[in-house]
Every structure is written in structure tokens, then in C-alpha cells.
Amino acid sequence: MTEPTFFVLTALLDGPRHGYGIVAEVTDLSQGRVRLKIGSLYGALDRLVGGGLIELDREEAWQGRLRRYYRLTERGRHALDAEARRLAANARLASIRLRRQNPIEGTSA
Amino acid sequence: MSRLEERYRRVLRLLPAGYRRQWEDDMVAAFLETMQTGDAETDEYLADHGRPSLAEMTSILSLAVRLRIGGPDAPPRPYVWGQAVRLAVLTGVLTQAAMATVGLAVTLWLTGALSWLPAPASEWALVPPIGTWQATLHVAGYAWLPAFLALVLGHRRVAQAVAVIAIAPQAVTVAVEQAAGPAPLTVAAWAMLVVELLLLVAMSAVHRDGVPVARRRWLLALPVGILAVPVPLFVAQASMPALRLLDWPGLCCVLVVVAMVVHLGVRAFRPPSRTLPWSLALVILAATALVQRTATLPDLVGQVQRTALLTIASVQIVAVLAVGVPLAVLAFRLLRHLPSVSAAAQPPHTAD
């Protein structure tokens, strides 16, 4: 799972969002580190919809335009859960090794 | 519609029509929101004078490339295009690798390292590289061999990094000689460089989205290719001076014509849908060879044997067109019947 995809799914965890809503939430979640470009966002959305990980929630009119809201599916939730566990396990591995290198302080030098 | 929206929609035209039907309005709405600052005056100014940033345009461009040159989960038409590009790239890198290997073998032979071979004639005496730079340039070209192996074995990024080693010294030389060289540079040097750079960029299409490469076949293709093309060519050119009139763009034309003729023969006995990626790959290679041949024609005008060279080049152009155009017509006719947007992705095939 690519980083943009991971953040898009995470952004949709607490409720449906529209395109710009996802961009803003991902910027917030990553503390400004990941700034999704529209091409990358819709590349990810297209794949996620195709793979059944997200789906259209509703359409709302806003300033004369239609906003499409997307929501996470059960399948998407499972995929994100699996990816989060995998990343957490990787991070744990690294932390254990780092602590072993510097056991007294419990941190790396 | 604001000027900014017009500009953004113009960039979105890079995307396939089917994709735009589904996503364009949504993308425009999201983009326009990202451009809003909260200050009415600034927003009004941006609506008139603002432009999508370079990063936004690049993201659309890379999405367009990804959608058009598809992986196994893409609809049939972009998937076939993807396979064609992957086959053309592998063939291009294979050609570079085969030529580099024989170049290395010939250099070793001329320096006497291959003592079991008959000694080279005195007229073939090796001119030692004048300086460190020439030596670097000479050795760097051999990097195409490890680049090919890395590409076939699935290390695409390594392959690209190694190919940069092959290309970078050559690029610097071409640029420096063009700027300060004693004689005006030939078009051929630039043409070769452009083709190699295109190859480097297009290598990104290989192994993307987990499209497997038929390793054994491509690895076998290297020794077969070496024995079938550069070795006999070197022997023939060494014994028949007339054959030395065949330059690199000319050789590319000859190779692609032979490959297309063989392919047309094979195609007659197989279901056309299976051979379509190869048909398109050969059309891409033929078009490249044709452009390279045509662009380098001015080089030939300045040569002593220009009449013979121009005649040979014309025959090469006619031959590529005579075989390439019918193949392209057949391939595109077949391609038109494939859906460009569909949920039903084709089962993945290996790039063989």
C-alpha cells in the first residue's frame, strides 16, 4: 500500500469526506508532511473504488458544484487494519533493535 | 467558468476520455478548493490569473501515463499498450546490452586478452584512449549489460541507476563537443543520446504494478541476440569493407524490418489478440528507427560516399515503411476493438 493510499484510507476512518476534504485531512494527519496533489489523490481514489475499499457515500451541491463524498467500506477498513499492523510490527522491530544497542538509556545514541 | 478552471481542464485533457467522464468534475472541484485562500480579493485574482502549479501538472501527467500504459489491473486497451511499451523497452535495452557485450569482447580481443582467438590484423591495432575521460566514456557504455540483467531480474531502479552510468558521460561529451569541439557534431550523436534517455525513462514501465517479466526467455535472448547480430556483423564488416557503410541508425532499421517480417509470419498462425502487444512494440520500435534514420540524413550529406550512403538510407526508410505501415494498420484495427475503460481487467500475462 502506497503512503498516499494509506493516508486517504486513514482520513476516511472517522466519516465520509469529499476530494478536498481528504486533501486537507491528510495534510493535518501527517502534520503537513504529506500534501496530496489532485492527480495522486484521484489516482488513489480510482484504484480504491475499483478495489472496493471505498465507495461513493453521497453527492452534495456546494457553491454551484457537486461535491462527491466517499466512505470507507468494510473491506477498506480491513485492508487499512492489516497495513497498520504490518507497519506497527516493522516499527516495533526497529525499536527493539535500537534499544538493544543502547540498553541503559533505552534509546538510540 | 473561470480562467483558472479553463486552464486546469486543459491539463486534464491529458487523461483518457473514459477516465475524465468519471472523475473530471470532481477533480476540478477539489482543485479549485485547494486554490482558495479565504481572502475574497486574492481568490478573485487567482481565479483570473492563477495557474495549476508544476507539481499539480506533474501529478496529472504521471496519472495520465499510468492510465495509458496500464498494468494487469488496467482495462484491456491500456494494458495492451503497457505490455507493448514494456516489450519495446526490454528489446531496446537488450540491443544496447548485446552491442555493449560484443564491444567489450572486441576490445579484449584487440588488447590480446583473448589469446585463444586468432590475433587481430595490424590494421585493427587498438588506438589507446587519449585521456582518462575517453577511457571512462568507453567503459561506461558497458553498463548497459548489467542494466539489462537488473531489469530482467526485477531490479528496475538498479537498472535505471546503472543505465545512468552508461548515459551520463556520453551526455556530457556530446554537450561539451557541441559547444567547444573542433568539428560540428553529427545529428547521430544527439539522436543516440535522445533514444537512450527515452529508454531510461520508459524503463519505469517495466515491473510496475507487479507485471512479471519472462526472465528465462529474456536472459536467453541475450546470448542468442549476441550470436545472431553483433558477432556476425562484426565478422562481416571486418572481411567486407562495403558493409561498413551500414551505420547505427541503418542497422536499427534493418533489425526492425527483419523482426517485423518474422513477426508477421508468426502472427499468421496465432490468435491476433496474443500477438497484439508484440505488434505494437514493433510499431513503436519501427517508428523510433524511422525517426532516427530520417533525422540523421543530414550527417550523410557531408560524407565522401554520400550517394551510396543516401541510397542505402532511402532503401532502409522505404523498407521500414513498407513493412511497418501494414503492421501498424493491422495492430491499430485490432486495438480499436478493445475497450479502453472497463471494470473487467484482463488476466495478467508475462511480458514475453
Domain of A47, CATH number, reads 1.10.10.10
Q: Which residues of A touch B22 (CB under 8 A)?
A: 46
What would the mean pLDDT of B209-214 be, rounded to a whole number? 73
Alpha helices in B153-214 (DSSP H): 156-180, 187-202
Interchain CB contact of A23 with B (< 8 Å) = yes
**pLDDT given at position B11:** 94
What would the mean pLDDT of B314-336 be, rounded to a whole number? 93
Cα-based angle A69, B37, B58 (whole degrees, multiple of 5): 70
Contact A38 B60 (CB under 8 A): yes
The β-bridge partners of A69 are A18, A58
DSSP A30: T
- In this structure, the dihedral spanned by the alpha carbons of residues B161, B165, B166 and B167, taken in order and rounded to 10 degrees, is 90
What would the DSSP string read from start to end of A57-68? Answer: EEEEEETTEEEE
Q: Which residues of A touch B31 (CB under 8 A)?
A: 38
Asked if residue A108 belongs to a domain, the reply is: no
Whole-angstrom Cα distance, residue B10 to residue A10? 32
B339 pLDDT more than 70? yes
What would the DSSP string read from start to end of B2-50? Answer: -HHHHHHHHHHTTS-HHHHHHHHHHHHHHHHHHT--S-HHHHHHHHHH-
Asked if residue A55 belongs to a domain, the reply is: yes
* Close Cβ partners of B35 (under 8 Å, ≥ 6 residues apart): B4, B43, B46, B50
Q: Which residues of B touch A18 (CB under 8 A)?
A: 29-30
Cα-based angle B65, B71, B74 (whole degrees, multiple of 5): 85
B189 pLDDT more than 70? yes
**pLDDT given at position A36:** 92
% of chain B exceeding 70 in pLDDT: 87
pLDDT tens for A5-39 read 999 999 999 999 999 999 999 999 989 898 999 99
Whole-angstrom Cα distance, residue B314 to residue B297? 9
What would the mean pLDDT of B56-70 be, rounded to a whole number? 88
B183 pLDDT more than 90? no
- Lowest pLDDT segment from A2-6, A67-71, B93-97: A2-6
Which triple of cell numbers denotes residue B278?
A: 508484440
Whether the Cβ atoms of residue A64 and residue B82 lie closer than 8 Å to each other: no
B145 pLDDT more than 50? yes
**pLDDT given at position A15:** 93
Please report which confidence band the pLDDT of residue B343 belongs to, taking 50, 70 and 90 as the band edges. Answer: very low
Please report which confidence band the pLDDT of residue B347 belongs to, taking 50, 70 and 90 as the band edges. Answer: very low
Whole-angstrom Cα distance, residue B137 to residue A51? 48
- In this structure, the dihedral spanned by the alpha carbons of residues B112, B114, B116 and B119, taken in order and rounded to 10 degrees, is -40
Sketch the domain layout of chain B as residue ranges: 3-64, 69-336
Interchain CB contact of A100 with B (< 8 Å) = no
Q: Which residues of A touch B59 (CB under 8 A)?
A: 37-40, 43
Closest CB to B59: pick one of A20, A39, A66. A39
Interchain CB contact of A32 with B (< 8 Å) = no
Whole-angstrom Cα distance, residue B341 to residue B75? 5
Whole-angstrom Cα distance, residue B136 to residue B153? 26
Asked if residue A107 belongs to a domain, the reply is: no
Whole-angstrom Cα distance, residue B301 to residue B281? 31
B3 pLDDT more than 50? yes
What would the mean pLDDT of B281-292 be, rounded to a whole number? 95
Asked if residue A66 belongs to a domain, the reply is: yes
Interface test with A, best of B33, B35, B37, B67 (most A CBs within 10 A): B33
Which triple of cell numbers denotes residue B21?
A: 467522464
Instruction: Kindly report the nearest CA distance between residue A47 and chain B, in angstroms.
Output: 9
Domain range for residue A41?
Answer: 3-101
Give the residue carrying C-alpha cell 537488473: B150
Interface test with B, best of A23, A36, A42 (most B CBs within 10 A): A42
Nearest CA in chain A to B61: A39
Interchain CB contact of A66 with B (< 8 Å) = yes
Contact B25 A66 (CB under 8 A): yes
What would the mean pLDDT of B300-321 be, rounded to a whole number? 89
**pLDDT given at position B139:** 77
Interface test with A, best of B14, B31, B342 (most A CBs within 10 A): B31
B132 pLDDT more than 90? no
Which triple of cell numbers denotes residue B333?
A: 484495427
B148 pLDDT more than 60? yes
* Close Cβ partners of B178 (under 8 Å, ≥ 6 residues apart): B185, B190
**pLDDT given at position B114:** 67
Closest CB to A19: pick one of B29, B63, B66. B29
Nearest to B32 by CA among B1, B65, B60: B1
Please report which confidence band the pLDDT of residue B336 belongs to, taking 50, 70 and 90 as the band edges. Answer: confident
Asked if residue A39 belongs to a domain, the reply is: yes
Give the residue carrying C-alpha cell 539522436: B191
Interchain CB contact of B24 with A (< 8 Å) = no
- Highest mean pLDDT out of A95-99, B124-128, B204-208, B244-248: A95-99
Q: Is the complex ipTM higher than 0.90?
A: no
Q: Which residues of B touch A47 (CB under 8 A)?
A: 73
Interchain CB contact of B35 with A (< 8 Å) = no
Cα atoms in the Cβ-side hemisphere of radius 13 Å centred on B74: 29
- Lowest pLDDT segment from A79-83, B164-168, B305-309: B305-309
- Highest mean pLDDT out of A58-62, A76-80, B308-312: A76-80
**pLDDT given at position B345:** 34
CA A74 from centre of chain: 15
Interchain CB contact of B59 with A (< 8 Å) = yes
B96 pLDDT more than 80? yes
% of chain B exceeding 90 in pLDDT: 37
What would the mean pLDDT of B325-344 be, rounded to a whole number? 80
Contact B30 A23 (CB under 8 A): yes
Nearest to A17 by CA among A41, A52, A47: A41
Contact B56 A37 (CB under 8 A): yes
Q: Write phi, then psi, for B212 (nearest 5 degrees).
A: -75, 155
Structural domain count of chain A: 1
Beta strands in chain A (DSSP E): 17-18, 54-62, 65-72
Interface test with B, best of A35, A36, A38 (most B CBs within 10 A): A38
**What mean pLDDT, rounded, does chain B reach?**
84
Name the strands in the sheet holding A54-62, side by side, starting at the edge strand that comes first in the sequence: A17-18, A65-72, A54-62
**pLDDT given at position B66:** 84
What would the mean pLDDT of B126-134 be, rounded to a whole number? 60
**pLDDT given at position B128:** 56
Instruction: Kindly report the nearest CA distance between residue A65 and chain B, in angstroms.
Output: 7
**pLDDT given at position B344:** 38
